[in-house]
Protein backbone atom coordinates (compact mmCIF):
# COMPACT_ATOMS: atom_id res chain seq x y z
CA UNK A 1 0.00 0.00 0.00
CA UNK A 2 1.29 3.47 -0.87
CA UNK A 3 1.50 5.71 2.15
CA UNK A 4 0.75 9.39 2.00
CA UNK A 5 3.52 11.81 2.83
CA UNK A 6 3.48 14.79 5.11
CA UNK A 7 5.10 18.19 4.55
CA UNK A 8 6.42 20.79 6.90
CA UNK A 9 8.40 23.91 6.08
CA UNK A 10 10.97 25.08 8.59
CA UNK A 11 13.90 27.40 9.04
CA UNK A 12 17.34 26.75 10.46
CA UNK A 13 17.85 29.65 12.82
CA UNK A 14 21.20 28.34 14.09
CA UNK A 15 23.67 31.06 15.02
CA UNK A 16 21.82 33.90 13.28
CA UNK A 17 18.39 35.34 12.96
CA UNK A 18 16.57 34.71 9.70
CA UNK A 19 17.03 37.55 7.19
CA UNK A 20 14.25 39.09 5.13
CA UNK A 21 14.46 38.78 1.35
CA UNK A 22 15.23 42.49 1.05
CA UNK A 23 18.33 42.37 3.23
CA UNK A 24 21.78 41.45 1.92
CA UNK A 25 24.43 40.62 4.53
CA UNK A 26 28.18 40.33 4.25
CA UNK A 27 29.15 37.06 5.89
CA UNK A 28 32.06 34.77 5.04
CA UNK A 29 30.76 31.71 6.90
CA UNK A 30 27.91 29.26 6.37
CA UNK A 31 24.32 30.48 6.69
CA UNK A 32 21.17 28.79 8.03
CA UNK A 33 19.04 27.53 5.13
CA UNK A 34 15.27 27.43 4.84
CA UNK A 35 13.99 23.95 4.09
CA UNK A 36 10.95 21.73 3.61
CA UNK A 37 10.60 18.19 4.94
CA UNK A 38 8.76 15.36 3.19
CA UNK A 39 8.33 11.99 4.83
CA UNK A 40 6.19 8.86 4.53
CA UNK A 41 3.82 8.03 7.36
CA UNK A 42 6.06 5.30 8.68
CA UNK A 43 6.50 4.89 12.41
CA UNK A 44 10.26 4.78 12.08
CA UNK A 45 12.52 5.72 9.19
CA UNK A 46 15.97 4.23 9.60
CA UNK A 47 17.28 4.74 6.06
CA UNK A 48 19.78 7.45 5.20
CA UNK A 49 17.80 10.65 4.39
CA UNK A 50 17.79 12.52 1.09
CA UNK A 51 18.79 16.16 0.67
CA UNK A 52 17.70 17.95 -2.52
CA UNK A 53 19.47 21.05 -3.90
CA UNK A 54 17.66 23.11 -6.53
CA UNK A 55 19.06 24.98 -9.53
CA UNK A 56 19.64 28.66 -10.25
CA UNK A 57 16.54 30.83 -9.63
CA UNK A 58 14.73 27.81 -8.20
CA UNK A 59 13.66 26.96 -4.66
CA UNK A 60 12.54 24.13 -2.42
CA UNK A 61 8.99 24.63 -3.71
CA UNK A 62 10.03 23.36 -7.16
CA UNK A 63 10.59 19.96 -5.50
CA UNK A 64 7.34 19.84 -3.53
CA UNK A 65 5.64 17.16 -5.64
CA UNK A 66 8.78 15.14 -6.33
CA UNK A 67 9.92 15.46 -2.72
CA UNK A 68 6.71 13.78 -1.57
CA UNK A 69 7.05 11.11 -4.26
CA UNK A 70 10.67 10.36 -3.39
CA UNK A 71 9.76 10.08 0.30
CA UNK A 72 6.94 7.63 -0.38
CA UNK A 73 8.77 5.55 -2.99
CA UNK A 74 12.05 5.30 -1.10
CA UNK A 75 10.61 5.34 2.45
CA UNK A 76 13.16 7.98 3.35
CA UNK A 77 12.91 11.41 4.90
CA UNK A 78 13.54 14.05 2.23
CA UNK A 79 14.81 17.58 2.88
CA UNK A 80 14.52 20.19 0.11
CA UNK A 81 16.74 23.20 0.82
CA UNK A 82 16.71 26.80 -0.35
CA UNK A 83 20.23 27.85 -1.37
CA UNK A 84 21.57 31.16 -0.12
CA UNK A 85 20.16 34.05 -2.18
CA UNK A 86 17.17 31.87 -3.15
CA UNK A 87 13.71 31.13 -1.79
CA UNK A 88 13.38 31.88 1.92
CA UNK A 89 17.08 31.58 2.75
CA UNK A 90 19.22 34.61 3.68
CA UNK A 91 20.56 37.04 1.11
CA UNK A 92 24.34 37.13 1.14
CA UNK A 93 26.90 39.15 -0.78
CA UNK A 94 29.27 36.16 -0.85
CA UNK A 95 28.19 33.44 -3.25
CA UNK A 96 30.04 30.46 -4.72
CA UNK A 97 29.98 26.65 -4.75
CA UNK A 98 32.35 26.12 -1.79
CA UNK A 99 30.19 28.40 0.37
CA UNK A 100 26.96 26.70 -0.74
CA UNK A 101 28.50 23.32 0.07
CA UNK A 102 29.45 24.64 3.52
CA UNK A 103 25.83 25.78 3.97
CA UNK A 104 24.65 22.21 3.31
CA UNK A 105 27.26 20.85 5.72
CA UNK A 106 26.09 23.35 8.35
CA UNK A 107 22.47 22.33 7.74
CA UNK A 108 23.36 18.67 8.30
CA UNK A 109 25.17 19.59 11.50
CA UNK A 110 22.16 21.50 12.84
CA UNK A 111 19.84 18.61 11.94
CA UNK A 112 22.23 15.98 13.37
CA UNK A 113 22.40 14.20 9.99
CA UNK A 114 25.67 12.19 9.83
CA UNK A 115 25.32 11.36 6.12
CA UNK A 116 22.76 11.79 3.35
CA UNK A 117 21.97 10.95 -0.23
CA UNK A 118 22.55 14.27 -1.99
CA UNK A 119 20.52 15.12 -5.10
CA UNK A 120 21.34 18.31 -6.97
CA UNK A 121 20.04 19.85 -10.18
CA UNK A 122 22.13 22.26 -12.28
CA UNK A 123 23.62 24.80 -9.83
CA UNK A 124 22.54 22.51 -6.99
CA UNK A 125 24.25 19.62 -8.76
CA UNK A 126 27.54 21.49 -8.83
CA UNK A 127 27.13 22.33 -5.15
CA UNK A 128 26.50 18.63 -4.49
CA UNK A 129 29.59 17.62 -6.50
CA UNK A 130 31.79 20.05 -4.62
CA UNK A 131 30.46 18.81 -1.30
CA UNK A 132 31.07 15.17 -2.27
CA UNK A 133 34.62 15.95 -3.39
CA UNK A 134 35.48 17.88 -0.23
CA UNK A 135 33.31 16.16 2.42
CA UNK A 136 32.89 12.60 1.15
CA UNK A 137 32.12 11.30 4.65
CA UNK A 138 28.84 13.24 4.66
CA UNK A 139 27.62 11.90 1.32
CA UNK A 140 26.19 8.37 1.22
CA UNK A 141 25.32 8.44 -2.49
CA UNK A 142 25.36 11.24 -5.05
CA UNK A 143 22.76 12.04 -7.71
CA UNK A 144 23.51 14.81 -10.21
CA UNK A 145 20.71 16.06 -12.44
CA UNK A 146 21.78 17.38 -15.85
CA UNK A 147 25.01 19.21 -15.14
CA UNK A 148 28.71 18.39 -15.24
CA UNK A 149 31.80 19.72 -13.46
CA UNK A 150 33.15 20.77 -16.86
CA UNK A 151 32.40 23.80 -18.97
CA UNK A 152 28.77 24.84 -19.07
CA UNK A 153 27.11 25.28 -22.49
CA UNK A 154 26.46 28.71 -23.94
CA UNK A 155 22.73 28.17 -23.35
CA UNK A 156 23.30 28.59 -19.62
CA UNK A 157 24.17 32.26 -20.15
CA UNK A 158 20.51 32.94 -20.94
CA UNK A 159 20.00 32.99 -17.16
CA UNK A 160 21.61 36.44 -17.04
CA UNK A 161 19.07 37.71 -19.57
CA UNK A 162 16.27 36.22 -17.46
CA UNK A 163 17.51 38.04 -14.38
CA UNK A 164 17.81 41.37 -16.20
CA UNK A 165 14.32 40.93 -17.62
CA UNK A 166 12.92 40.14 -14.17
CA UNK A 167 14.51 43.24 -12.62
CA UNK A 168 13.29 45.52 -15.43
CA UNK A 169 9.80 44.02 -15.44
CA UNK A 170 9.21 44.50 -11.71
CA UNK A 171 10.51 48.07 -11.88
CA UNK A 172 8.12 48.90 -14.71
CA UNK A 173 4.78 47.93 -13.16
CA UNK A 174 2.57 50.04 -10.84
CA UNK A 175 1.64 48.91 -7.34
CA UNK A 176 -0.55 45.84 -7.84
CA UNK A 177 -1.77 42.87 -5.85
CA UNK A 178 0.30 39.69 -6.06
CA UNK A 179 -2.18 38.03 -8.43
CA UNK A 180 -2.47 41.09 -10.67
CA UNK A 181 1.29 41.60 -10.69
CA UNK A 182 1.90 37.97 -11.68
CA UNK A 183 -0.33 38.39 -14.75
CA UNK A 184 1.20 41.74 -15.67
CA UNK A 185 4.76 40.48 -15.26
CA UNK A 186 4.00 37.41 -17.35
CA UNK A 187 2.83 39.66 -20.17
CA UNK A 188 5.93 41.85 -19.94
CA UNK A 189 8.34 38.91 -19.71
CA UNK A 190 6.69 37.22 -22.71
CA UNK A 191 8.24 39.91 -24.95
CA UNK A 192 11.76 38.63 -24.20
CA UNK A 193 11.04 35.12 -22.85
CA UNK A 194 8.59 33.37 -25.22
CA UNK A 195 8.68 30.01 -23.39
CA UNK A 196 5.69 29.95 -21.03
CA UNK A 197 7.19 27.20 -18.86
CA UNK A 198 10.32 29.25 -18.17
CA UNK A 199 8.23 32.33 -17.35
CA UNK A 200 6.08 30.38 -14.89
CA UNK A 201 9.24 28.98 -13.30
CA UNK A 202 10.71 32.48 -12.91
CA UNK A 203 7.45 33.86 -11.53
CA UNK A 204 7.58 31.41 -8.62
CA UNK A 205 10.16 33.89 -7.27
CA UNK A 206 7.58 36.67 -6.93
CA UNK A 207 6.62 37.47 -3.36
CA UNK A 208 4.83 40.16 -1.38
CA UNK A 209 5.77 41.48 2.03
CA UNK A 210 4.13 44.42 3.75
CA UNK A 211 2.28 45.11 0.46
CA UNK A 212 5.57 45.47 -1.38
CA UNK A 213 6.43 43.16 -4.26
CA UNK A 214 9.92 41.72 -4.67
CA UNK A 215 11.79 38.77 -6.10
CA UNK A 216 12.78 36.08 -3.60
CA UNK A 217 16.01 35.43 -5.49
CA UNK A 218 18.75 37.98 -4.85
CA UNK A 219 19.02 38.89 -8.52
CA UNK A 220 21.57 41.66 -8.10
CA UNK A 221 24.13 39.39 -6.41
CA UNK A 222 23.36 36.38 -8.63
CA UNK A 223 23.82 38.48 -11.75
CA UNK A 224 27.07 39.96 -10.45
CA UNK A 225 28.49 36.57 -9.43
CA UNK A 226 27.25 34.59 -12.44
CA UNK A 227 30.44 34.45 -14.52
CA UNK A 228 32.88 33.88 -11.68
CA UNK A 229 30.83 31.81 -9.23
CA UNK A 230 28.20 29.91 -11.24
CA UNK A 231 29.78 29.32 -14.65
CA UNK A 232 33.12 28.25 -13.15
CA UNK A 233 33.48 25.04 -11.12
CA UNK A 234 36.28 25.19 -8.51
CA UNK A 235 39.38 23.11 -9.12
CA UNK A 236 39.42 20.14 -6.72
CA UNK A 237 42.17 17.53 -6.60
CA UNK A 238 40.24 14.84 -4.70
CA UNK A 239 37.92 12.10 -5.99
CA UNK A 240 34.54 10.81 -4.80
CA UNK A 241 34.81 7.04 -4.64
CA UNK A 242 31.18 6.23 -3.78
CA UNK A 243 28.19 5.45 -5.97
CA UNK A 244 27.20 8.35 -8.22
CA UNK A 245 24.40 8.72 -10.74
CA UNK A 246 24.11 11.38 -13.45
CA UNK A 247 20.52 11.73 -14.73
CA UNK A 248 20.66 13.73 -17.96
CA UNK A 249 18.15 14.98 -20.50
CA UNK A 250 18.51 13.45 -23.97
CA UNK A 251 17.87 16.86 -25.55
CA UNK A 252 20.01 18.86 -23.10
CA UNK A 253 23.44 20.28 -23.97
CA UNK A 254 24.58 20.33 -20.34
CA UNK A 255 26.10 16.83 -20.20
CA UNK A 256 27.50 15.38 -23.42
CA UNK A 257 28.99 11.93 -23.95
CA UNK A 258 32.40 13.52 -24.48
CA UNK A 259 32.15 14.83 -20.89
CA UNK A 260 31.99 11.30 -19.46
CA UNK A 261 35.78 10.64 -19.28
CA UNK A 262 36.42 13.84 -17.31
CA UNK A 263 33.47 13.15 -15.00
CA UNK A 264 34.87 9.65 -14.41
CA UNK A 265 38.20 11.09 -13.27
CA UNK A 266 36.41 12.87 -10.40
CA UNK A 267 33.67 10.30 -9.87
CA UNK A 268 35.11 6.88 -10.84
CA UNK A 269 31.88 5.03 -9.97
CA UNK A 270 29.67 7.38 -11.99
CA UNK A 271 26.77 5.87 -13.93
CA UNK A 272 24.80 7.75 -16.58
CA UNK A 273 21.11 7.68 -17.45
CA UNK A 274 19.82 9.72 -20.38
CA UNK A 275 16.08 10.35 -20.21
CA UNK A 276 14.48 10.27 -23.69
CA UNK A 277 12.71 13.45 -24.73
CA UNK A 278 13.89 15.46 -21.73
CA UNK A 279 15.75 18.75 -21.68
CA UNK A 280 17.61 20.46 -18.85
CA UNK A 281 14.70 20.25 -16.37
CA UNK A 282 14.63 16.45 -16.49
CA UNK A 283 12.82 16.00 -13.19
CA UNK A 284 9.93 18.31 -14.09
CA UNK A 285 9.68 17.38 -17.77
CA UNK A 286 9.79 13.61 -17.23
CA UNK A 287 9.04 13.04 -13.53
CA UNK A 288 8.11 9.35 -13.90
CA UNK A 289 11.31 8.52 -15.77
CA UNK A 290 13.32 10.54 -13.28
CA UNK A 291 11.75 8.76 -10.30
CA UNK A 292 12.32 5.36 -11.87
CA UNK A 293 16.02 6.07 -12.49
CA UNK A 294 16.41 7.44 -8.95
CA UNK A 295 14.55 4.52 -7.35
CA UNK A 296 16.63 1.94 -9.22
CA UNK A 297 19.81 3.69 -8.07
CA UNK A 298 18.75 3.95 -4.43
Annotated catalytic sites, by residue? 122, 220, 280
Determine the Cα–Cα distance for residues 152 and 143; give it in Å rounded to an integer.
18
d(CA 217, CA 64): 18
| 3-class state of residue 111 by DSSP | coil
What are the backbone angles phi and psi of residue 203, rounded to the nearest 5°? -70, -10
Within a 13 Å sphere around the CA of 145, how many CA atoms are in the beta-carbon half? 28
Query: 228: which DSSP letter?
Result: I
CB 194 within 8 A of CB 161: no
Q: CA-CA distance, 95 to 192, in Å (whole number)?
A: 27
Amino acid sequence: MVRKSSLSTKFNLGRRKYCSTAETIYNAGPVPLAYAVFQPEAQSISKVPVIVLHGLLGSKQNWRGLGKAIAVKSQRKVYALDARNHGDSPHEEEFDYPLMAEDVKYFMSLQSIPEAVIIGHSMGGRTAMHMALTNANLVNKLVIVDVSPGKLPKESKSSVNYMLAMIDALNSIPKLSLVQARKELDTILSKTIPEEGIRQFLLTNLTEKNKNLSWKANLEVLQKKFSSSIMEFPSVSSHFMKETLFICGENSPYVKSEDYPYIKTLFPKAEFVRVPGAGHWVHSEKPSDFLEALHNFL
